[in-house]
Structure 1
Amino acid sequence: MTKIQLHLQDKDGTLHTVQARVGRSLMHAAVDSGLDGMAADCGGSLSCATCHVIVAPAWAEQLPEPAADELAMLEMTAAPLEPGSRLSCQIRLSTALDGLQARMPATQY
């Protein structure tokens, strides 16, 4: 099982480096690591927008464009959208994303 490193900033501004298994979602990696601020209420079924993250610009460019259903759900986030705003349940981890940097907004509710 291949693992990669992710650099995730929690809602309080603390930077965490976590190991995540390739093939998992960014949301599951954050939840599995116990990071404060990742609510993920729907468990990744794309129905709640409580896994909102802001992906660093250099990494956001490497992600596929969000699908229409992700864009629609992003309109329901509690925190204002920013460049790089994504739902972490829709980001599938690959070896190309080793070192990915993202931060969680101040609130998911």
Structure 2
Amino acid sequence: MVKITYIEFDGASHTVDVAMGASVMEGARDNNIPGIEADCGGACACSTCHVYVDPSWFEKMPPMDEMEQDMLDFAHEPNPQRSRLTCQIKVSNALEGLIVQMPEKQI
């Protein structure tokens, strides 16, 4: 298990344990974290699991593939330096302590 902190747009913080190999989106869903809708269930076919990765973590993230980059065009106020889709981030030991922040809304 890896501890991940999800911060809602209003500042409410939720630190939860997420299973290795799960996605950051699955961690939010399985722990009832508000703010990540995940309408497509993790198929990278929507942008409703969009988050802003804490600046201290962005350089440590696994690289983004072209499909994720394309889907971020549909996200609410994407930030080229910080936006990611949580369905595309697999949990590993390297992500222990990851902090992500939710946008004001999901599209």
TM-score band by shorter chain is over 0.9
Q: How many residues align?
A: 106
Which of 89, 92, 100 is equivalent to 2:90? 92
Instruction: Supply the distance in 1 between the matched residues of 2:56 and 2:10 (Cα, whole angstroms).
Output: 22
SS at match of 1:35: coil
What displacement does 1:15 show? Answer: 0.8
Instruction: Supply the distance in 1 between the matched residues of 2:106 and 2:11 (Cα, whole angstroms).
Output: 15
- Name whichever of 55-64 and 92-101 sits farther off: 55-64
- Name whichever of 42-51 and 58-67 sits farther off: 58-67
Which of 63, 67, 70 is equivalent to 1:69? 67
Which sections of structure 2, spanning at least 5 residues, go unmatched?
none
SS at match of 1:93: coil
**TM-score (ref. length: structure 1):** 0.93
What displacement does 1:63 show? Answer: 1.0
Runs of 4+ in 1 over 3 A off after TM superposition: none
Letter in 1 for 2:78: L
Letter in 1 for 2:77: P
SS at match of 1:49: coil
SS at match of 1:17: strand
Deviations 1:24-80 (A, max 9, x none): 000000111101111000000000110001001121111122111100000011x20
Matching residue of 1:8: 6
Matched, 1:102 2:103: no
Matching residue of 2:77: 80
SS at match of 1:16: strand
Matching residue of 1:28: 26
Which sections of structure 1, spanning at least 5 residues, go unmatched?
none
Matching residue of 1:43: 41
Letter in 1 for 2:55: P
Letter in 2 for 1:96: A
What displacement does 1:11 show? Answer: 2.8
Matching residue of 1:55: 53
Taking only the aligned residue pairs, the percentage that are identical comes to: 41
Deviations 1:69-105 (A, max 9, x none): 100000011x201221000000000011000011111
